[in-house]
A and B are shown apart, each in its own frame.
Chain A
Amino acid sequence: MKTIAVEETVVKRKLTFGQWMNTDTVAGYVFALPFIVGFLAMMAVPMLLSFYYSFTDFNMLTSPTFIGFDNYVRMWNDMRFRNSVSVTFRFVFFSVPVRLVFGLMLAYVLTRKTKGVHFYRSIYYLPTLIGGSIAVALVWGQLFQNQGVINVMLGAFGLDGVNWFGNPNNALWPLIFMSVWQFGSSMIIFAAGLKDIPETYYEAAEIDGANKWRIFFSITIPCLTPIILYNLVMQTIAAFMTFTQAFIITGGGPADSTNFLALYIYNHAFNWFNMGYASAMSWVLLTMVGVSTAFIMWTSKKWTFYANE
């Protein structure tokens, strides 16, 4: 290795432009250039700016005025902000685990080697595929109306209809259901993970006389823990960002009961042009996501199992 390095330094002086371009360092940076430029222009600079704006009063029409920690103090006293943090956490707390449980269950059910599994998986993936579209959000709002399909169905089972959007205690649920409904991508990832569990593990367990449930909990689940961790982290991050559903379906109401932090930030930034305050809140959102992820990672040491280690 060393000799090669020496040779390289010797050769370096006589490099033509073409050869220079072909060196590892130059070519590496040339190919990585889109990301480097993008990272600086679309990530690093905006983040620094956003951090600066979070200490200013800025409405876009006049230049930002530095106001120290005022935005952060304001947040502390802002009931709507505190409420939106709590709404966001409630949403994450209910939607993410249920979504993962559904995803795992169906992935497990659909690994059976029977006819039509591929087709079934596509059917179950369909809601996820189109779930992000406005079309579905608009339809979802209609489903949960007072005289909507859901209440008509409840009536068919002899149950009272629920006033979904007219009661602050209920309004979050249609949004949680919608999120749970879209368990498809975690299902697919789980399914791929299930395929990777060596047959020998199962065979060994069957020889030991373990029943299906035992095998599921003592072989399948532990082997899947790294994937559970991955899904948990990615889905949690995504859930914190939830915006479109609330924006389209409830507009944050009634009585702010679905006013997600992302929606509240949007309103401050783009409806009321409080760019400074909105920036400060977005940093709090970033911190919330970061802390939650770190917390999951920290606990994961106790429950994830890596076969190779």
Chain B
Amino acid sequence: MDIMNEKQFEELWVKAEAESHAEKLAAEYPVWRQKTRRTLSMAAGVALVLAVATPIAMSPSATGNYNKVYCNRAGIQDQQWVNLADELLMEG
């Protein structure tokens, strides 16, 4: 049996180190994959809920029978104006 020189020893050392890393990674891969899948599923769920809920929450029907009220006086409820618009139509 030949005695390894320094260079051969170094090459074997690097190879052995790389193989041990690969083995370690291979062992951890299933756990990493499961975690990633779980995270992606959660993100997809949140995005789906937001995509459905936000437009519904911000639709005109969610604010009653009007979109927006501008007023030149502070402290008057929007609904009072909507009621006045309704009452005038009833009277007219």
B is a partner of A: no
Contact surface of B with A, Cβ cutoff 8 Å? none
